A and B are shown apart, each in its own frame.
Chain A
Amino acid sequence: QVQLVESGGGVVQPGGSLRLSCVTSEFTFRTYGMHWVRQAPGKGLEWVSFIRFDGNNNYYADSVKGRFTISRDNSKNTLYLQMNSLRAEDTAVYYCAKDMFPWRDMGQGLIIGDYWGQGTLVTVSS
């Protein structure tokens, strides 16, 4: 049974930093690209970032570019999201999601989330 478990959420002041983790199991993590998707309170889903299976290519939404960094440790089957310079509008539930097909990169038919984690809540507030 494929599992994705996020952690690292919490309350942080504006301008602060937080690192989210997503521990995965029961699939060959090193062959799949991974996404972060968020949902602000009362709002819709927003794609945040994607990292290629080997970690060599990363992509970001304009809203987080330059502040967030996606990374992965294929030896630990774990995905990360380093969030710096946090703003109130970054308050959201953050989901990690597995891409559906192996070996793909942006523009090669990415399919967000045949499996998703349960999400971790990040609250940016003073």
Chain B
Amino acid sequence: QSALTQPPSASGSPGQSATISCTGTSSDVGGNNYVSWYQHHPGKAPKLIIYDVYKRPSGVPDRFSGSKSGNTASLTVSGLQAGDEADYYCSSYAGSNNCMVFGGGTKLTVL
């Protein structure tokens, strides 16, 4: 059960956009449309912000968007705000092991 690969860090200026990638294999990210993204502020519970690759739960602003191409999923945060500074994790169903797997996490800094 290998973790999905995310860059350790990403950044952007307020008002700009930042994109975080999540790379897996054909057995997980590339093999299904069950990719989710989470925002995690230290000391708080993680928050689901994207599911099924691009869908947003109720209450999540449309500044957060998701996409996927092949074995790589991406999260884009537009109109960056100070409150977006957090750790972001992707997750996927891993069919080969019939389990769930997270990415290693990306720390997003708003400059």
> Could you list which residues of chain A lie within 8 angstroms of chain B, going by C-beta atoms?
35, 37, 44-47, 50, 59-63, 95, 97, 100, 106-107, 109-114, 116-119
Contact = CB atoms under 8 A, between A and B. Distances in A.
B100 A47 contact: yes
A107 B96 CA distance: 10
Interface size class, chain B: 20 to 34
Interface of B: 1, 3, 34, 36, 38, 40, 44-48, 51-52, 57, 87, 89, 91, 93, 95, 97-105
A45 B45 contact: no
A-side interface mostly: strand
A61 B99 CA distance: 7
Contacts of A47: 91, 99-102
Which are the 3 A-B pairs with shortest beta-carbon distances?
Answer: A44-B105, A116-B45, A47-B100
Nearest to B45: A116
A44, A60, A113, A118, most chain B CB atoms within 10 A? A44
Contacts of A112: 36, 48, 91, 100
